[in-house]
A and B are shown apart, each in its own frame.
Chain A
Amino acid sequence: MRKASLLLALMLAGVSGAALAQEPERGGTLNMVVQPEPPTVMLGLNKLGPVSFVGSKIYEGLINLAPDMKPLPGLAESWEISEDGLTYTFHLRQGVKWHDGEPFTSRDVVYSFSTFLPEAFARTRSVMARTESITAPDDQTVVFKLKAPYAAFMMIFEVSGGTIVPAHIYEGTNIRENPANEKPIGTGPFQFKEWAKGRYIQLVRNDDYWNKGLPHLDEIYFHVIPDANSRAIAFEQGQVDVLRGGDVENFEVRRLAEAPGVEVSEAGWEFFDPLAIININLKAPPLDNLKVRQAISYAIDRQFMIDAVFGGFGKPAYGPMTERTPFYDAAALTDYSFDMEKAKTLMAESGLKPDANGVYATLDLMPLPYGETWQRQSEYLRQQLTEIGIATNVVSVDVPGWQERTTTGKFHITTNFIYLLGDPAMGVSQTYVSDNQNRGTATNVDGYVNPEIDKLFAEGAATNDPAVRQKVYSEIQKVISADLPVIWSHQMSMPTVYRSKLNNLITTGLGLNSNFADVWIAKD
């Protein structure tokens, strides 16, 4: 019943939002929470969640992304991709200025992608290894030439991954020790004003913004509030206007959303596309046994878990992609709907011998140390595993310990979530390709090796033809879903709670990591 009323509220919110489309009002202060306090707001140097959240208002990328992952103009007004998929030509916007008054030109773009980002950011470095050259025929044009087609190439130009930094400030300096890191200079609609450490970060309107008349807001405060209860109270008391997904636990969201003048949105996570997974160490028997993995997958009532643990936000997942991921194919997936009888039968058929108590195996279960929700999820999993005869020791570790254990294979079962990043050639493959393991930092922590899958992922990345890609990714989903190298838990939803007086808060696939140029506050 409560869920239904929430849905209804969401629908009504959508309707009234459309009906009340009105003239934006200028001015006002937007109060938000940044959690945890970021180490820096120089987005070029650090891609951590809170850094992107703050930094995306100060810096800009060549493009933005629509909720369906279509590229939208950013610092680049338009672009062309050659027939063979090898040449990307970007036409830059005229009249853009850095916050220190210097003009923005193609030199900044070339510097950012050829020098700065490859040094600061591993993902750009690996993608740029695919390019043959970056050139600037004139001040407003930049041309990227690839060695071979790479379908996810456009995805590297959004603001977090493809932060454009000022060449006139960083060229020839030690980028990590540049004094400008403390007082970042971007092209975005908001300028850095003050960072009272441990208290707040303040940004103010860039009066010289290229998009005349924008931004609407005068200033933005990012408050540092370390305790989740205190964040909820700060929102209830009106000291902050927005709670991002994760600022409060999902089970608090419903309560907060019931207050008048408060809305909830699940939009804005299309690019990050978080997928909750349960990592399984395939090198540790009996988890190398497909029937055991199938039994585990069938033993989980995903919808129940979503409702009971994740506050009703999320959708069951049975494969490596979510509904939001381009080329998702529901028909290719094995259906792992909850079926305890089937799970028990599979355990009996697995060839393992149960002991006198009916226990087939005792395994370590390591919850993701990201707060209460994940603890509760592990408690549920533990219960379900017990029912199919797998006893578990819950291993509680802190974040660094968790990272160390997962990436070095010192675990049996652990809960986790991954970002799929807009195109299957970018985020999805990492967890399944065989050359991405045993490196201490790799994300194929399960130890999955399948030459056919390696080949398919390479094929999917090397063509821009949507028909070919659909075929390849459907095949990938079919094979991986049946192979079960990890147990997919659910497509995550990270609801944003905000006051209805805020307009245009979430309009792109980057959600709250957009530049907020057109966000405005209705006076009450």
Chain B
Amino acid sequence: MAQIRFLLLRLMKAVFVLLAVTIFSFALIRAAPGDPAMIIAGDQGAVDAAFLEEVRARYGLDRPVYEQLALYVGQVARLDFGTSYRFDRPVIDLIAERLPATLLLTMSAFGIAVAAGVGLGAFAARHVGKWQDAVITVFALLFFALPLFWVGLMGILVFSVWLGWLPAFGMSTVGGAMSPLGQALDIARHLVLPTTTLALVYLATYTRMTRASVLEVMDLDFVRTARAKGLPAGRIWRRHILKNAMLPIITLASLQAGHLVGGAVLTETVFAWPGIGRLAFDALLQRDYNLLLAIFIIASALVVFFNFIADILYGLADPRIEVTT
């Protein structure tokens, strides 16, 4: 019963958050100077007042802003994100085209970052104060501090330009027929550099966080008790230390999972990866309101969704955390 009430309340909260995000993003984009009709007209290579009026009427831009907002919220409620001004196609189609590429990139990076980050962090904590710890900490700090685009460019320089091992950009080799397996391998090869670049930055965060969290838990009473009871070291690590140290990491992971959609703008730009981050960036530059808003809203929905998952995971990691709202 409490579970169902919790779920319902969370759902209502989620709807409210998404509504707020919609209204807020709408207002924010409209507050920027620059008339979308002018951009659209410029895009069509036309400088003519009649054409401007026609464009405004076609996209409803001639109505008062509050009317446009009400209309838009109603549309979004029916999961209709409208038409992109620039591409003259339904926004949802454009996003559907690009979303798989972004998810492939960011989820691989996310997976690597979490797995390797937690592993390295725990390893460092276990050898705290020794050289292993020092090496891991220094590298984590380094990648945490380096700008992502620079890491990406250096990766291209070393592994594509100098060594010639990996492709520098794109998602697959253009031209030439390939077997399905060959295609998958080809994409995997193209995935290596962008994924590593993106993963390195996240990885550093997870390493640092896991190390700190594990060190904190290691000194708590129940760990001492377990040791005093003479439990085997491996079991203490798994059942007592890691499990308890996971909570802050779940929080962090749930927040970053929300970035899966929008967080790869730089990586996608440097590596010419055909994903949604770039689509959003172009949409911003071109004032493609509908497209940009849709990406905002979908990204926010993902954040909300992953927070939800995190709440459930908290309960699993530590049953003492009650499902309260």
Chain A interface residues toward B at CB < 8 A = 29, 31, 36-37, 39-40, 45-48, 120-123, 125-126, 176, 181, 196-200, 202, 219, 221, 223-227, 229-230, 233-234, 236-237, 239, 397-401, 403-405, 407, 439-443
In whole angstroms, what is the CA distance A441 to B47 when docked?
6
In whole angstroms, what is the CA distance A397 to B157 when docked?
32
- Chain B residues numbered 43-83 whose CB sits less than 8 Å from any CB in chain A: 43-52
Whether, in the assembled complex, B219 has its beta carbon less than 8 Å from a beta carbon of chain A, the answer is no
Other-chain residue from A31, A39, A233, A239 in contact with B86 (beta carbon distance below 8 A): A39
Interface contact B278-A46, CB-CB below 8 Å: no
Query: A121-B44, A202-B174, A221-B175 given. 4 additional CB < 8 A pairs?
Result: A47-B44, A225-B170, A237-B168, A441-B52
Chain A residue nearest in CB terms to B33: A401
In whole angstroms, what is the CA distance A359 to B128 when docked?
63
Interface contact A226-B175, CB-CB below 8 Å: no
Whether, in the assembled complex, B222 has its beta carbon less than 8 Å from a beta carbon of chain A, the answer is no
Interface contact A198-B34, CB-CB below 8 Å: no
Interface contact B38-A224, CB-CB below 8 Å: no
In whole angstroms, what is the CA distance A234 to B270 when docked?
12
Chain B residue nearest in CB terms to A219: B175
Q: How many residues of B contact A (CB 8 A)?
A: 52
Interface contact B156-A233, CB-CB below 8 Å: yes
Residues of A within 8 A of B168 (CB): 230, 233-234, 237, 239
In whole angstroms, what is the CA distance A196 to B274 when docked?
9
Whether, in the assembled complex, B228 has its beta carbon less than 8 Å from a beta carbon of chain A, the answer is no
Chain B residue nearest in CB terms to A47: B45
Interface contact A404-B38, CB-CB below 8 Å: yes
On whether A226 and B285 interact (CB within 8 A), knowing A122-B48, A401-B33, A405-B33, the answer reads: no
In whole angstroms, what is the CA distance A399 to B32 when docked?
12
Whether, in the assembled complex, B121 has its beta carbon less than 8 Å from a beta carbon of chain A, the answer is no
Interface contact A125-B48, CB-CB below 8 Å: yes
Residues of A within 8 A of B94 (CB): 197
Residues of B within 8 A of A237 (CB): 160-161, 168
- Chain B residues numbered 261-313 whose CB sits less than 8 Å from any CB in chain A: 268-275, 278-279, 282, 285-287
Residues of B within 8 A of A196 (CB): 274
Residues of A within 8 A of B43 (CB): 39, 46, 48
* 4 residue pairs, one from A and one from B, having the closest CB atoms: A198-B274, A400-B34, A47-B45, A122-B48
In whole angstroms, what is the CA distance A181 to B48 when docked?
23
On whether A221 and B174 interact (CB within 8 A), knowing A236-B161, A398-B34, the answer reads: yes
Interface contact A230-B270, CB-CB below 8 Å: yes
The residue in B43, B44, B157 that gathers the most chain A C-beta atoms within 10 A of its C-beta is: B44
Chain B interface residues toward A at CB < 8 A = 32-36, 38-39, 41-52, 86-88, 94, 97-98, 101, 153, 156-157, 160-161, 168-172, 174-175, 268-275, 278-279, 282, 285-287
Interface contact B34-A401, CB-CB below 8 Å: yes
Interface contact A230-B45, CB-CB below 8 Å: no
In whole angstroms, what is the CA distance A125 to B50 when docked?
11
In whole angstroms, what is the CA distance A446 to B274 when docked?
40
Interface contact B51-A199, CB-CB below 8 Å: no
Interface contact B275-A441, CB-CB below 8 Å: no
Interface contact A45-B156, CB-CB below 8 Å: no
Chain A residue nearest in CB terms to B41: A441
Interface contact A198-B279, CB-CB below 8 Å: yes
Residues of B within 8 A of A122 (CB): 45-48, 50-51
Interface contact A48-B282, CB-CB below 8 Å: no
Interface contact B45-A399, CB-CB below 8 Å: no
Interface contact A403-B169, CB-CB below 8 Å: no
**CB-defined A-B contacts under 8 Å, sample of 26:** A45-B44, A46-B45, A122-B50, A123-B45, A197-B94, A198-B101, A198-B274, A198-B275, A199-B171, A199-B172, A202-B174, A202-B175, A223-B174, A226-B272, A236-B161, A399-B39, A399-B286, A400-B32, A400-B39, A400-B286, A401-B34, A403-B39, A404-B35, A441-B52, A442-B47, A443-B47
Interface contact B88-A198, CB-CB below 8 Å: no
On whether A200 and B287 interact (CB within 8 A), knowing A45-B44, A121-B46, A126-B48, the answer reads: no
Residues of A within 8 A of B282 (CB): 36-37
Residues of A within 8 A of B46 (CB): 47, 121-123
Give the distance to chain A from B284, nearest Cβ to Cβ, in Å.
8
In whole angstroms, what is the CA distance A31 to B101 when docked?
23
Interface contact B274-A199, CB-CB below 8 Å: yes
In whole angstroms, what is the CA distance A225 to B169 when docked?
8
Residues of B within 8 A of A399 (CB): 34, 39, 285-286
Give the distance to chain A from B45, nearest Cβ to Cβ, in Å.
3
Residues of A within 8 A of B49 (CB): 439-441
In whole angstroms, what is the CA distance A18 to B241 when docked?
77
Interface contact A40-B34, CB-CB below 8 Å: no
Residues of A within 8 A of B272 (CB): 199, 223-227, 230
In whole angstroms, what is the CA distance A461 to B43 when docked?
27
Chain B residue nearest in CB terms to A42: B88
In whole angstroms, what is the CA distance A452 to B269 when docked?
50
In whole angstroms, what is the CA distance A225 to B168 when docked?
11
Interface contact A197-B98, CB-CB below 8 Å: yes
Residues of B within 8 A of A227 (CB): 269-270, 272
In whole angstroms, what is the CA distance A126 to B45 when docked?
13
In whole angstroms, what is the CA distance A405 to B33 when docked?
8
Other-chain residue from B35, B101, B156 in contact with A230 (beta carbon distance below 8 A): B156
Residues of A within 8 A of B169 (CB): 225, 230, 233-234, 239
In whole angstroms, what is the CA distance A387 to B52 when docked?
42
Chain B residue nearest in CB terms to A31: B174
On whether A40 and B33 interact (CB within 8 A), knowing A198-B98, A237-B160, A441-B52, the answer reads: no
In whole angstroms, what is the CA distance A196 to B175 when docked?
12
Give the distance to chain B from A302, nearest Cβ to Cβ, in Å.
28
Other-chain residue from A123, A226, A400 in contact with B278 (beta carbon distance below 8 A): A226
Other-chain residue from B32, B42, B44, B172 in contact with A403 (beta carbon distance below 8 A): B42
Residues of A within 8 A of B175 (CB): 29, 202, 219, 221
In whole angstroms, what is the CA distance A433 to B182 when docked?
61
On whether A197 and B285 interact (CB within 8 A), knowing A29-B175, A237-B161, the answer reads: no
In whole angstroms, what is the CA distance A441 to B45 when docked?
11
Residues of B within 8 A of A233 (CB): 156-157, 160-161, 168-169
On whether A197 and B33 interact (CB within 8 A), knowing A226-B269, A399-B285, A400-B39, the answer reads: no
Residues of B within 8 A of A121 (CB): 44-46
Residues of A within 8 A of B160 (CB): 233, 237
Interface contact A400-B48, CB-CB below 8 Å: no
